[in-house]
Amino acid sequence: MGIKRRKISVIGSGFTGATTALMVAQKELGDVVLVDIPNMEKPTKGKALDMLEASPVQGFDANIIGTSNYEDIKDSDLVIVTAGIARRPGMSRDDLVNTNAGIMKSVAQEILKHAPDTFILVLSNPVDAMTYTIFKETGFPKERVIGQSGVLDTARFRTFVAQELNLSVKDITGFVLGGHGDDMVPLIRYSYAGGIPLETLISKERLDAIVERTRKGGGEIVELLGNGSAYYAPAAALTEMAEAILKDQRRVLPAIACLEGEYGYSNLYLGVPVVLGGKGIEQIIELELTEDEKTALNKSVESVKSVMEVLS
């Protein structure tokens, strides 16, 4: 008996998985199990040990292990899924769908077998469709299967706005709705600098340019890196969501949630504002949308659905 530390399993020890493992450990959200395929077992163990050896210097208490044995995820409080292939220059996220759907199915079976009571955060792309796949394959309640896109997309938007206004990123808030693709819908009307509407601070032309850069933000990093996609900001986004769940913070964050009538859509996982806490997705917040915003959201939904059709 006694009080036990939380356990967080990160599936995939590549760029995003390893970075996420380090960030959640640095925040002392719990002990970390980093999982990859048998071929990758040695480097996965090596990364975990290397991170653990950073802990005395940085002063965090968290055990970190690397493994290719899914039994090690037993009793996880949270499983973060980053397994799969990432895109390279010239590719869209949707090009990853067939390979990653196969990987999601096998990962879902392992989670179901070894950690049936856990929460799941999905990162693998195309993430709206992959979150839906994990939901279907595990049969978990919808509030326990959550995808990450909006925290990252909003973080990019906030970064660009802070640069434009030469203000602290801390004072910039925003909301990005819809699928995690180039049709995502940054909601300017709900975006502020220190409580002041952005529309009163930045010209329409400059705001349009920021929205466009946000939509293509993932691709911008892919072009710069040349051999993969973003991982620092995605890992930071996953860590914020993990903290909201594990500390029952009831944060208001954008997340990929299962819609059953909300915003007029059903049987679909899509990025929307939610309350994220100890029960997972505790509420989906429905914002009033203008006709233009509804049209933009609909376009984004059509993109997500066309990817999901490939899977059915």
Ligand X SMILES: O=C([O-])CC(=O)C(=O)O
Ligand Y SMILES: NC(=O)C1=CN([C@@H]2O[C@H](COP(=O)(O)OP(=O)(O)OC[C@H]3O[C@@H](n4cnc5c(N)ncnc54)[C@H](O)[C@@H]3O)[C@@H](O)[C@H]2O)C=CC1
Catalytic residues: 180
Mask of contacts with ligand Y, 219-258, x by CB under 6 A?
---------xxxx--x------------------------
Listed ranges 58-66, 109-117, 214-222, 292-300: which one lies at the site for ligand X (CB under 6 A): 214-222
Binding to ligand X by residue 179, rule CB under 6 A?
no
Q: What is the size of the binding site for ligand Y (CB under 6 A)?
A: 35
Among 29, 48, 79, 83, binds ligand Y (CB under 6 A): 83
What's CA 197's distance to the chain center, in Å? Answer: 26
Dist. CA 7–CA 119, nearest whole Å:
11
Q: What crossing angle do the helices spanning 150-165 and 204-215 adopt, rounded to 10°?
A: 140
Dist. CA 34–CA 38, nearest whole Å:
12
Residue 126: cis peptide before it, omega within 30 degrees of 0:
yes
Taking CA 93 as the corner, what is the angle to CA 89 and CA 95, rounded to the nearest 5 degrees? Answer: 85
Binding to ligand Y by residue 94, rule CB under 6 A?
no
**Smallest gap from residue 50 Cβ to ligand X (A):** 24
Binding to ligand X by residue 152, rule CB under 6 A?
yes
Nearer to ligand X among residue 9 and residue 16 (C-beta)? 16
Dist. CA 193–CA 176, nearest whole Å:
16
Residue 226 backbone phi and psi in degrees, to 5: 80, -25
Q: Which residues are annotated as a binding site for substrate?
A: 87, 93, 125, 156
**Site for ligand Y, rule CB under 6 A:** 11-17, 35-37, 40, 82-87, 96, 100, 103, 106-107, 123-125, 127, 148-149, 152, 180, 228-231, 234
